[in-house]
Amino acid sequence: MAAADSKIIFAGPVGSGKTSAISCLSDIPVVSTDVDASDETKARKDTTTVAMDYGFLSLEDGTLVHLYGTPGQDRFDFMWQILTEGGLGLVLLIDAARPDPAADMLFYLDAFEKFIAETGAVIGISRVDLSERDIYGLLQQSLIERGQLLPMFEVDARKDEDVNLLVQTLLAVLSAEV
């Protein structure tokens, strides 16, 4: 990784859209370690990421932004810390259609607490089209209770413009902090 290059990490539960989001942004086809899903993941989708996703994006000034997706299943959580090394910030994707999106969000905010404190994060609520609840309001309330306000958007992880908005916001938040 050249000195000016940076790295963004995508995290979130199984099926929250990490691989989809990185595919939207990446200049190259995403290198994924997706395998056929077994056990409880299978009910949700056919493949799951076991080690990581990788892609990259070149900014107008020529800098490269490396994009890493963490595996969603928590039996691979040893990869999470490894992948955050040298990272610029975190995009946390929360699946609105899972049973308890607020618990999911708090779990990941705890798991990546140190990294977020040192860098920054944005939250994308994905799969809102598959949920009838006001997940945005619910998550906003949880963030207020936790005392941690982070930029949050409803996104479709398959849509370039939605994923771009997340990354541009993260970059803006990070540059405002410097």
Ligand X SMILES: Nc1nc2c(ncn2[C@@H]2O[C@H](COP(=O)(O)OP(=O)(O)OP(=O)(O)O)[C@@H](O)[C@H]2O)c(=O)[nH]1
**What residues make contact with ligand X under the rule CB under 6 A?**
12, 14-20, 45, 48-49, 71-72, 126-127, 129-130, 156-158
20 is a contact residue toward Mg ion (CB under 5 A): no
**Shortest distance (Å) from residue 121 CB to ligand X:** 16
Report the residue number, 109 or 157, with the smaller CB distance to Mg ion: 157
Ranked by CB distance to ligand X, the top (closest) residue is 72
Angle (CA) 21-27-28 rounded to 5° is 90
Total binding residues toward Mg ion, as defined by CB under 5 A = 3
Among 19, 70, 119, 169, binds Mg ion (CB under 5 A): 19
Q: How far is CA 17 from CA 10, 63, 126, 156, 171, in A?
A: 9, 25, 7, 8, 20
Give every CB contact of residue 146 below 8 A, 6+ residues apart in sequence: 106, 109
Report the residue number, 126 or 143, with the smaller CB distance to Mg ion: 126
Query: By the 8 A CB rule, do 49 and 22 touch?
Result: no
Report the residue number, 59 or 130, with the smaller CB distance to Mg ion: 130
Q: If phi over 0 gives left and psi between -120 and 50 gives alpha, with beta otherwise, what is residue 41?
A: alpha
23 is a contact residue toward Mg ion (CB under 5 A): no
